[in-house]
Every structure is written in structure tokens, then in C-alpha cells.
Structure 1
């Protein structure tokens, strides 16, 4: 009996045959994430039912030196949950459910495999809002959201996932269960260990439960689409909004080429305003209509906004959002190479110009698109590989973009994580000394290196 067969036998004995799958019993959806990068059937798939089974599985695998890849909803965009053929995948999908909604402390306690959409609906029914929201809400799991420190459209107002987590339960590589569950906002008892696991992409431990902060349900919101003359106006308009009407729920910037493309992909491709403006911003605000209209008029008088459309109904608002949500069609209509980067807000416009110029110099006629949630310093860039020479120069494009990010003091990942796809470029944003400390932390939590080996640090 091989070492792997012996380990699988121990796992089946401890967890039961139904919780340990191999071969054709493993669904292909566990082979890769939404990137479809390097799909591989893992050596086995573990489906634990509770924290005790997670701890038992890790204890057995750690003793055998068997590598484990934690998996959530497999909606990641950095290859963080992609297994190798020699790995055992550990899916949290059966470890799901909402344990408690505490109205007094405005928290919800959930198991890691719970879908984000289910959490949103449950707390909405109780009169609260869980502010984290992203397009994969119906597929992604809370544990994965926490492990990748997910962002989304509402970060500008409510913060990243890191800002929404009060407590965690985490299973360490050796099977110890770390109880960091907490409902208090103020808890200053030594090191805040939960922060080590938020954004660590399953390389330091497996998150099994969480206590999440809730917010009051916002009032009715107004959706606006505004045309802007230049990037400084986009920043100026945002700050004007924040001063007079409060921070908006969303502030989504689209460069001209993205806006034109998004409109052309609509079922009824009629632009809600002329498409010759350099930039467009789609925003949502819960401020009063009178306050918004006055703020908008002041911005137009100052030259920050040159045209605007205010949605008069939910249907009109949805139609405006369809332009921004054209990204969902990228995998079908393009051969997208996606970048999720962060830069100081004042330099995002400079970066977009610099990157576009360098791409045009290197590959004349390339098709690149720029858009993002600039209020939280996040820019997305997509290059259509169909517009480049074949075979596609993927590494060369990535190197060009990430070098520019480093030059302007930005981050090679804003909200998607590092995983497999960005680890070669992490040095553009993280110093050598900091990378060494990260490696030391990894060895401290996972001395045998069994947890998500090869991710982030290689």
C-alpha cells in the first residue's frame, strides 16, 4: 500500500466513505477556479461535515506530509484553490449554515461553506445588511471570501471583508482548532490573530466559522450615470459627493472604450448619453434626491461633470448597471487577460495613460479596457488576447503591467488575491524583507508545508 493509499484509508476510517471521494466521483468543478488555469483532478476530495472532521482530516494529512488544498465556491480569479494531481482537495461546501443572527450586537455567525447570497438574504430578512457584495454572490462561500479578503462594489462605504470580520474559528495544519470567535468591536487582548488568516488564501489554516459585522439597511438609493472630462474630475466629484451627500454605496469608473463596449453588448444597444466623453461614472447614493441634485449641479458648474442621467426607476437603474456589468461577458466575447490592481487614488489616471501607451508601443492595435472602483483605489484592466500576436504573449503583458504598478507604488492585487497567477510578480509590491517575514509566518503556522503548497509564496 502506497503512502497516499494509506492516508486515504485512514481518512475513510475517520470520516466515512461518503466524505472521501476519488477518481470519477470528483466533480470537474473542483479541478480549477473561474480562471480555468491548469485544471487537475486532485488525488482525493474531502467533504467534511463539521469542524471536528476538518481537524481530523488535517491531523491525518499533516502526520503523513500530505498536501491539502482548501476550496470554497471555486469562484476565485487567481488560481488560489487550484489543486495539483498529488494534492488532496478539502471542500467546505457541506460545512454550511447560519448559526445565529444577534440583533443586539449586529452580527451574524456562519459556517464557512455558507453561500454569500444566503447570508445576505438571511440578514436582510432580519432587517440588516451584510455589505459584502460581488458578482459571484450565488456561488462563492463566506470562508473563501474571508480567505481572499474579497472586495466588491461596496468597499468604498463599508470596507473590505477584513473590516467585516469580528471573529473566526480556524483549524491549523496540525489539527488544532483555534477559537477566535468574538462579537465585540473593541477587543484588545494581545495579537489580533484572526488577521493572519484573512487574505492568507488557505496557506496558514482552514477557516471553519466566522462572526461577521452587519450594517443597517440603507434607505432608498438613487443611481446616476455621469460623464466626466478627465480623471482629476472623477476624483474631485467623488470628494464633493462625500462632503455634501455622504460616501456613496458604489462609485464605478469606466473609461470611454469600456463604456462603448458595454453599451454595444446591451440587448438594446442605445447609449443613455453620448459616448464621446473620456470617462463615465456610475454611482449609487442613499442621500436625498434634493441633496444629490444640488451636488450634481455644483459639480457641473465646476466642470467636473459634463452630462448626467438619473435613473427614474429600478428598471432604469438595472439597465445602467448592465453597462458596467459587461465584464460578465468577457469570457464569452473576448480572450481576457484580467488585472486587478490597486494604486494611490491620485495616480490611477496616470497609470491608465502610462499602461495604455506602453501596450500600444509594444503591440500596436491591442485592445485594452480600463474600469474600476476608484474610490477604494482599485483599478481593473483587461487585455483581449485575441488582439495580440499568437501565441499570446501572456507573460510579457503581465510583466509590462506589473512593472508599471510597481513604479507607481501600487499593489499587484487589490481584491482577487495572489494564488498561483501573481506570485512571480509579488516582488513589485512587497519588499524582500517583507516576503521573508511572510515565509517565516508560513513556517510557524504550517511547518510541514501541507496547506495550499505553491500558492502566494511558491
Structure 2
């Protein structure tokens, strides 16, 4: 006797009836929808929903809400905290089809995009139109604009232009019950009541699904000056940062620090060329967006010469071409190759006040070397915005060891009043440590906001809180 096919869940029947089978893939989820860059493996979702418009997404969420169906929004899956990983029986909403760049308005200084637009595609379109979208991070070729907003992505240009939050003027969001919340503001100044978009920027899909964004654009720089410099220690890097900011009138657009261990490992893993002949304790990648290339290039060189004369930097290499600058940045962005070659790794993205980054790094290193002398730990980060990254390589995979290594890092961060997540979000992996950076009262208020906007708890359940 032949077995009958399993019954199709009523929510899937309702979704297919309303939207068609092409929009609702049930029972055949692609493996790429099961995990993000964190490596956290999810359960098998009930279906993959692929809306083409805000209206379709609204109808999908309304049906899921009526059937008490949990939903996990997904963007480019470049997250490092498991924030977009589905649980078994949940429904994934993939924004990949909602990828249009709707309008670039040079006069107003805005670009309007759908949430599924790839960041690099938006950057290139804006550049061709003569403007700069300053949101920039190493995952630019795969991350999506909506994910950047949902995690308040930081990246390489925060020192000059700010986090994603600082570059979002307007949003469109679909709430858990399908309500469309249109906040597509295009003005820098708009004080008409509460600015609700900030509820959703950095909320990691817990309060609503971002569908469209208005980003603020910057004038396209006419030139970029880039250098890698060598220094004795973090204190020297901090003096150099203050000097560069003052000498270049705030035009420093990136100031990336790499301790020796990270630079050497990234060069080796990426089969890259070392930028300087010597071996130094600390390196900084600095660049400046400028408006007068010839004049500003001379100012940049003079700034470096003054720093060498003052003894703050030991050596420097200035990019003489775009290829040189890209080679410098390939070292800083080489963490993907490091994670590949030294897996399994534990990756930390923390922040403390800028003045304390050096001390924080020293204390974390001392903790790790004391208890796990066999492990390699790599340190790098964005000095100007207080962001320190730590990669611990080839870590043991038992729960006790992982928890103790995390405590060795997060305990120091807590002592400095810092954040366990500078730019990557909380997701699943950092959820147990949220109390190290947020008070009980703050977390209680987050729960209240979640209850108000998603009383059934259907959006991205189990994440963050």
C-alpha cells in the first residue's frame, strides 16, 4: 500500500493561494538559507518566501500572522552572529528579489533603494552618478542594504561619515501583522514628532522587516590619499590620529589599526606582499578623501613627514596608484582568508572608549595567553570609532572552553563600560552576553517594544533578547 504524501500546512496553502508557488518555496530550501557567515547552522525552514514587492511581503506577513507562523528575515547572509539563521519549522523571508535601485537624486543628495539591493551595486551606481554612498564594509559584494540597516552596520568609513544609522534618512518597514509603515523621509531636517525609523535601525529584524531605504549621499571625492604607517604602540597611534585629524581638517576617512600578529597572518593567508620592509609592533592604514587631489596629496605627505619627525611613526608607505591603495586595503580586508585558514575561530567585535583601546587589547591578550598559551589571537580594528576586533584561531569546540574564552574578552570590555557588539549585532551568538553592555532596565524596555510591535513574537524569534 502506497504511503500518502504529508499534509501541506495550512499556512503554506494560504500563502500559495494568495501569491503563487513561485513566491513560496516549500520543502526544498537551498542550503545557503540555513546559515550565515557565523557558521551557526539552522533548522530546516517550513518555506522560503521570495517577495518581489512591499505589497507581496505585506500579504505574506499578514497570512503568517493569522496562522501564528514564525518568520525569519534574510538579506545577504553575511552576518557573523547567527541573526538570520532560521529555526526548524520557521518561514524564511528572503529579500533578494527586492533589489532595485529606485532613484538617485543628486540635487537632494539621496539614493532610494529596495532592501535586497547589494551594497556594492548601490555604491557603484551612486559613483557613476557622481556621488558617494559612505556605507562601506568588507562584505560589500554580498551584503544587502536592508541587512546593513537592520544591523546598523559600521565598517571602514565611520570615523568620517558615521554608522549606517547616520546615513539613513527614510525607511519603509512592514510590521509583523503586515502593516506597512512608510517613513520615506528625504530631508536631513524633519522634526515632526518622533523619528520612528530609529526603532528599526539596528533592531535585527525583531520589530519589522525593512523593505525600502532612503540613504544620504556625500559629494564624490576627487581624490584619495592612502598610506600604511608603522608605529611603536597604541599610544603612538592615538597621537598620530590626533595629529592627522588636525592637520587634514577632519578629512581622514579611514584609520584602521592592525597589530603585528594580524598583519603578518593576513599577508600570509592572502598571499599578499608586506607593505613595509621592517617588522613593527603596530600598523595603521590611513586614507583621506579630498577635493583638490594635487594640493591635498601634498598636505597628506607633509602630515606624514611631520609625524615621522615627531617620532610618532617609524616608517610609512604611500600608495602611488589605485592598485597600491587596493593592495593596502586587501591586507585590512583579508580577515576572510584568515578565518578560512585558521578555523575554527571565535570572532569578537567590541568597542570601548578610544583612549582605552590599547589597554583593552593588552588585557585581553594577557588573559588569553595566561589560560590558552597554545592559541593564536589576532587584533585589529577601527581606532577612530573605538572598535576593536579580536580573532582567536583554532579554538577548542567544547562549550566550557568557548564560554571561558568569551568571558576572557567580554569581561574586560565590561570593565571599560564598552559594548560586546560594536557593529555586528547580537543575533544568537552574543545573546547570553547582552547584560554585559545593557542594563536590566534597558533590556526590559526592549522587551516592551517587542511586545508592542510584535505581540505574538513571530519576527526573528529567539534572537537578541
1:392 Cα deviation after fit: 8.0
Shift of 1:294: 1.7
Question: Hey, what does 1:231 align to over in structure 2?
Answer: 234
Measured after TM superposition, the shift of residue 64 of structure 1 is 1.5
Is residue 430 of structure 1 aligned with residue 438 of structure 2? yes
Aligned-CA RMSD value: 1.7
The correspondence of residues 363-402 of structure 1 with structure 2, limited to 5 A, is 363-386=372-395, 393-402=401-410
- From 261, 264, 269, give the equivalent of 1:260: 264
The CA distance in 2 between the partners of 1:253 and 1:147, in whole Å, is 26
Deviations 1:374-420 (A, max 9, x none): 1111110000025x587882122112211111111110001110000
Q: The residue matched to 2:390 in structure 1 has which SS? A: strand
Partner of 1:90, secondary structure, is strand
1:123 to 101, 123, 126: 126
- Cα deviations across residues 278-302 of structure 1 (Å, max 9, x unaligned)? 2100111135122112211221222
* The one of 68, 78, 82 aligned to 2:81: 78
Shift of residue 323, structure 1, vs aligned partner: 2.1
Deviation of 1:360 after TM superposition, in Å, equals 1.0
Distance in 1 between the 2:222 and 2:462 partners?
Answer: 45
Structure 1 position 454 matched with structure 2 position 437: no
Q: Which runs of 5+ in 1 are unaligned?
A: none
Residue in 2 that maps onto 1:317: 325
CA separation of 1:222 and 1:39: change in aligned 2, threshold 3 A: same
Within a 5 Å distance, the mapping from 1:16-415 to structure 2 comes to 16-24=20-28, 26-245=29-248, 246-267=250-271, 269-270=273-274, 272-275=276-279, 277-287=280-290, 288-335=296-343, 336-386=345-395, 393-415=401-423
CA distance in structure 2 between the partners assigned to 1:286 and 1:273 by the alignment: 27
- Consecutive unaligned residues in structure 2, runs of 5 or more: 291-295
Structure 2 residue corresponding to 1:9, chosen from 4, 7, 13: 13
On the 8 A contact 2:228/2:275 being kept in 1, the answer is no
- Cα deviation, residue 20, structure 1: 0.5
Maintained 8 Å contact 2:251/2:289: no
Residue 325 (structure 1) shift: 2.3
Q: Verify the 8 A CA contact 1:28 1:41 in the aligned structure 2.
A: no
Residue 165 of structure 2 aligns to a residue in which SS? helix
After superposition, give the CA deviation of every residue in 1:71-126 in whole Å (9 maximum; x if it has no partner): 11111111110001111001111112011111211101111111111111111111
1:3 and 1:64 in contact (8 A); partners too: no
Given the superposition, is the C-alpha separation of residues 269 and 120 from structure 1 closer, same or farther in structure 2, using an over 3 Å criterion?
Answer: closer
Give the Cα–Cα distance (whole angstroms) in 2 for the partners of residues 418 and 76 of structure 1. 10
The count of residues paired between Structure 1 and Structure 2 equals 454
Aligned equivalents of 1:389 and 1:453: distance in 2?
Answer: 26
Cα distance, 1:2–1:423 mapped onto 2, change above 3 Å? farther
Q: Contact 1:48–1:54 at 8 Å: present in 2 too?
A: yes
Asked if the contact 2:275/2:328 (under 8 Å) is kept, the reply is no
- Distance in 1 (alpha carbons) for counterparts of 2:322 and 2:409: 38
**TM-score normalised by L of structure 1:** 0.96
SS at match of 1:286: strand
SS of corresponding position for 1:394: helix
CA change 1:268–1:101 in 2 (3 A) is closer
Q: Give the SS at the match of 2:307.
A: helix
Mapped to 1, the partners of 2:268 and 2:50 lie a distance apart of 43
